[in-house]
Amino acid sequence: MKIQTFTGSPYPLGATFDGEGVNFSLYAEHADAVELCLFDTPEDVTKSTTIRLTERTHQVWHVYVAGLRPGQLYGYRVHGAYDPAQGLRFNPHKLLVDPYAKAISGTLQWNDALFGYDIGHADQDLSFSESDSAPYMPKCIVIDDTFSWEGDQPLRIPMHKSIIYETHVKGFTVTHPDIPEEIRGKYAAIGHPITIDYLKNLGITAIELMPVQHFITDRHLSDKGLTNYWGYNTIGFFAPDVRYATAYTRGEQVVEFKEMVKALHQAGIEVILDVVYNHTGEGNEMGPTLSFRGIDNSSYYRLADEPRYYMDFTGTGNTLNARLPNVLRLIMDSLRYWIQEMHVDGFRFDLASALARELHDVDKLSSFFDVIHQDPVISQVKLIAEPWDIGEGGYQVGEFPPGWAEWNGKYRDCIRDFWIGADSMLGEFADRLMGSSDLYQDDYRTPAASINFVTAHDGFTLHDLVSYNEKHNEANGEDNQDGESHNRSWNCGAEGPTDDEDIIHLRAKQKRNLLTTLFLSQGVPMLVAGDECGRTQQGNNNAYCQDNELSWFDWSAQDHTLLHFTQQLIKLRKAHPIFCRRKWFQGIPIKGIGLEDIAWFLPDGVEMEDSHWQNDFARSLAVFLNGKGIRSLQDDGTKTVDHSFYLLFNAYWEPIKFTLPDEKYGKKWTKILDTNHSNVEPQEQFPASVVVEVDARSIVVLMEGKYE
């Protein structure tokens, strides 16, 4: 085809179709020259056309190509100095992915040509490879952003009313027998009515998708026949990954993703993306040259004092340099794109502490936070941090600024410890149950800053947490050396599967204890897909490379009793604002009532004093939640009023008799939940001051008055 080019514009970055042609724009500050390579098909090993970009505005290279249409395939070659010792790794023999590509045509095929140096050379990465990588690289795709959203608008479900469901696009649907086979494991399957009905019946308000931005599988995994199943290895921050699309050679994955979001929104379910802006899939100095490294290595990555090497706060070999304006712009442009064009409702930031590092220290006043807080688009969606990285001082639970929620790792650890009977847990357990005010109240955040979870994708499933003392990661091919060794788990008497009925009953009860604690805690509960119905990974607590039945949701092996219990538990939480308060408990009398909004009791019915929290051996307590003491208004301006509840926790290995408080707290109590059993329903009633026995390792929930 005859190519006609014009000056073009430096902004927006990436490839932008305007109806008559495409504007291409690339940031490459230290480059000497940039070539745009156009391809006819994804399988092309040679470019059909090369366009030398001659226009440069500041650090941005740009050109407008008339007549190009959506579906056009392209990549870049960037010229400049190859001097790794100075942090420069330009190599025009390598075809590069556009950092702003909205779609990518496929996955890379591992070959030595993908590396900027000669594999096996005595000088290692200081050598220079002249092998062409184009035959092995996926191509970027020009897309048309036009889409009929049919009036779709953000749901804006209040954070304190949110219930998050963490899942994997493929793993959740790939084995479902009622979903059409051709879409199982795809975006379309997440948006299918069968999937949506399941999510609605469960009661969740938001689905949090593990990484769907285009990622790569490390070569060492590919060589072992494994894959990066989890996807925490991003190479395209704007592009929905092709693995989850039914078609993708011409950018169809973008439309399929949008259809999924629209269907979920129509069902009242928000979409949160797990995003990885702390590093890329290019690894350390021995990694491949796929995009950023070859475009302008020193303008994207945090380099060490000896710039041949990378600063690594992520355990992946590199760290994106979020201190630099061009990297900040990349991240912010990406976030805005997913919000405005793809209609997602929020983000969970992987290893977020790495983004907040200024020089070496984590700084909650860093430019990353400043830019987000002033952005009128990004600041209005749900922002969730994984508040740690692997660098020194990287554990930052409770240290992120207002406007952010955090994965509360201290909640996870405390709740696990409490239910396996660890000493000295009573005081911290109370803090975690009531929203972790010790972590979030002093900086004016609310209980919704705490994303409460007992399990996550990384670690044991709920079933495995009560079934294994040790990790069993042999399938990962790392001699069981990978994964966390201290899991705060307990197998209840036997390692792994057992026929012992007593152990089976205890495990079921422990699962109910953990779920009940999670959903009755202040803060935002996060449930991992499958925990509601007993999914197991056979003791593997690091299944990042297992794209198979070990990780997939097994729809044929559901524990329907546990599923029903979880559905009822979520229904209970959503029906009673006392369990999802917008503001903190104060622990002081309510005007006109004479009762505190919350009160803690010993099993003998005596209200707890400061000294009682210090008893190392204590494993049992009760808490009164005053339904008339909720200090926040409803959306219509009326006072929020609920039933009062009395929660009895017994983590001891024998039954405990609890004396109920006197009539001023409640004249009659209805038992609505006992984790020694699997139903959430009204049971017997108790008057004030009587004794109620709570079975070993159990929770009893009492509600004042008649259960509705």
Q: Is 641 helix (H, G, I), strand (E, B) or coil?
A: coil
Among positive and negative, which fits the CA dihedral 54, 60, 65, 66? negative
Q: How far is CA 380 from CA 153, 346, 374, 376, 651, in A?
A: 13, 9, 10, 7, 40
Confidence (pLDDT) at 358? 61
Confidence (pLDDT) at 165? 98
Confidence (pLDDT) at 680? 86
Q: For the chain, which ranges sit under pLDDT 70? A: 1, 358-365, 588-594, 707-708
Confidence (pLDDT) at 586? 84
- Enumerate the β-bridge partners of residue 324: none
Rounded Cα distance between 575 and 620, Å, is 27
Spell out where 425-506 has E strands.
Answer: 450-452
For the full predicted model, state whether its pTM sits above 0.75. Answer: yes
HSE, CB side, 13 Å, CA atoms: give it for residue 494: 12
In the set 98, 218, 270, 350, the catalytic residue is 350
Q: 583: buried, middle or exposed (CB in 10 Å: 19+, 13-18, 0-12)? A: middle
CA-closest candidate to residue 298, choices 288, 289, 308: 308
In the set 98, 282, 296, 386, the catalytic residue is 386
Rounded Cα distance between 518 and 433, Å, is 8
Geometric angle at alpha carbon 585, from 579 and 590, rounded to 5°:
110
Intra-chain end-to-end CA distance of the chain, in Å: 72
Q: Is 238 helix (H, G, I), strand (E, B) or coil?
A: strand
Confidence (pLDDT) at 1? 58
Note if 345 is an active site residue.
no
Residue 582 main-chain phi, psi, to 5 deg: -80, -25
Place of tokens 């004249």: 667
CB 25 within 8 A of CB 14: yes
Indicate the DSSP class of residue 590. P
Confidence (pLDDT) at 364? 57
Rounded Cα distance between 261 and 255, Å, is 10
Note if 118 is an active site residue.
no
Confidence (pLDDT) at 349? 94
CA-closest candidate to residue 141, choices 204, 227, 69: 69
CA-closest candidate to residue 294, choices 33, 56, 7: 33
Beta strand pairing call for 49-53 and 82-83: unpaired
